[in-house]
Every structure is written in structure tokens, then in C-alpha cells.
Amino acid sequence: MAGKRVLITGASSGVGAALARRMAAQGAVVGLIARRSQRLAEVLADCRTTSSASTMWVADLAETVTVGQLALEAWDTLGGIDVLVNNAAIPKRRAVTALDPAEVETVMRTNFFAPMRLTLAVLPRMLEHGASTIVNVASVGGRLGIIHEAAYCASKFALCGWSESMAVDLHGTGVSVKLIQPGPVDTEIWDQPGNEEPLYSGPKVPAQEVADGIIAALGSDRFEHYLPDMKAVVDAKNAGIDAYIAGAAAMARR
């Protein structure tokens, strides 16, 4: 990572904060984007102990009209972007029968439209620069329909499809795409106002473990990376989608 210029969204906590600290410690210059200025400033202070040129922008990525300009400003400030990490996301745990369309659109703006706009803003410059990487942090919920998470899963399914098609379009251009599929990670996403209590109560991996997996993915030839490795669960769903839906519905009724 030494000398790489990295832009990370959702960098004030969780995976984004852990990744920023890890990359800065390895010599990367990191640009941080998040909504919460005080929390973001604390992460930036840690990063600057090993990467003094690192910087931050306070922004709400749900305000998608301004996202493209923010990306270009970050490019100019950092002197380029070698790695764009689209990590910011918000949850929405609510049964589909209780969802309001505006809630779904808010989730889509943050979880899908913001990464799309950030990417399209800097992509022409990345293609000129070459040897660049776009990292999209999706979720196992981008491959599995999760109980009471229709809005969240819709946004992550969209990000997965976008990433896969983009990887095809950009193949051989020098701009690579990495799709990260975190499973249950121990972050604040489990305890957010305006969400139902999660039905999942099993083990969660530390955010630092996912951050290390993302850094490892940058040195890999593979497109898709499950952190932790839950690909077998997705494969089982794809092999028997009707059985998966029936089983998941039964869990919701318990």
C-alpha cells in the first residue's frame, strides 16, 4: 500500500475506519468520507500518525447530486486515486409489508447510487491513469435475500450486478474491480434507530478482519471475496432457491 492514494467512504467507523487505519499504517495516503465530522476527525488523526498527507471530507452520500463533484475534488486534492473503496452503507431492517417507498429510495441512494456516481466521476481519469482499482463493499445480502431486509438487499444486489458488469466492461483496461461480500461483521450497523431488531444472533467477525481481507483482495486476481467465507451458503441457495425461501420464511415465524 505504500504511496497508494486511497479514497474510502463510510470511514468514520466499522470496516471503513479499520481499513483507513490499516492502509495508512502501511504507507497509503488516505482520503476519508463520512457524515460524522468528530468521529471522522478521530480516524484521520490516527491515520496522520503514519500518513501525514491523509485528509477528509464530511459529506452525506445520500445527497447524490453533489457526489460526483466530491469525487473530483478528492482526486485533485490527493493528486489522483489509485484505489476507490465504496464502503458506506446504511441498514433498513423492516418487513416489506411495512416499508415506505421513501425509505427504500434513501437506502438505494446511499448504498448504490452514491457508489455509482463516485465511480463514474473518476472512471475517465482512472482509465487515463491505468493500474487503478475500484473496490465495492457489498454484502452476503447482495447474494441472499435476508429476512426483513428487502430494501437493504435490493441495494446490495444492485451493487453486485453493477460490479460484475463493470468488471466485464473494464477487463483489460488497467482498471480492475473487486467485489467484497462481508458476512456478519461486528459494527454499528446492527444497532441503528429506525430499524427492527435483527433476527440474527450468531457470531460476528471483527471489522479489522474484514479490512485485512480487503487489503489482501487488492493483491488477488479474483473478482469476488467473501469475508468471512460464506460462499457455500450462497451456492446452496442457488442450488435450491425454493427450499431457501421456505426455510428463511420459517425462521421469520419462530
Over residues 132-157, the mean pLDDT reads 96
Say what the pLDDT of residue 50 is. Answer: 96
Dihedrals phi, psi of 152, to nearest 5 degrees: -60, -45
Encoded amino acid at 217, one letter:
A
Closest CA to 99 of 135, 47, 151, 139: 151
pLDDT per residue over 40-54, tens digit each? 999 999 999 999 999
Half-sphere exposure of 153 (CA within 13 A, CB side): 14
pLDDT score of 232 more than 90: yes
Contact 87, 178 (CB under 8 A): no
pLDDT score of 195 more than 80: no
| Active-site residue list | 152
pLDDT bucket at 253, cuts 50 / 70 / 90: low
Q: What is the mean pLDDT of the chain?
A: 94
Give the CA distances from residue 145 to residues 179, 243, 245, 254, in Å, rounded to whole numbers and listed in that order: 18, 13, 8, 18
91, with CB counted inside 10 A (0-12, 13-18, 19+), is buried
Can you read off the three cell numbers belonging to residue 153?
Answer: 438487499
Q: Could you give the residue ranges of the DSSP H alpha helices within the chain?
A: 14-25, 37-48, 67-78, 101-108, 114-129, 150-169, 207-218, 231-239, 241-252
Burial 146-172 (b: 16+ CB within 10 A, else e): bbbbbbbbbbbbbbbebbeebbeebee
pLDDT per residue over 58-68, tens digit each? 999 999 889 99
pLDDT score of 199 more than 80: no
pLDDT score of 5 more than 80: yes
Contact 181, 226 (CB under 8 A): yes
Contact 144, 102 (CB under 8 A): no
215, with CB counted inside 10 A (0-12, 13-18, 19+), is middle
pLDDT per residue over 63-86, tens digit each? 988 999 999 999 999 999 999 999
Three-state SS string across 149-193, please?
A: EHHHHHHHHHHHHHHHHHHHHCCCCCEEEEEEEECCEECHHHCCC
Sign of the torsion angle spanned by Cα atoms 177, 181, 187, 191:
positive
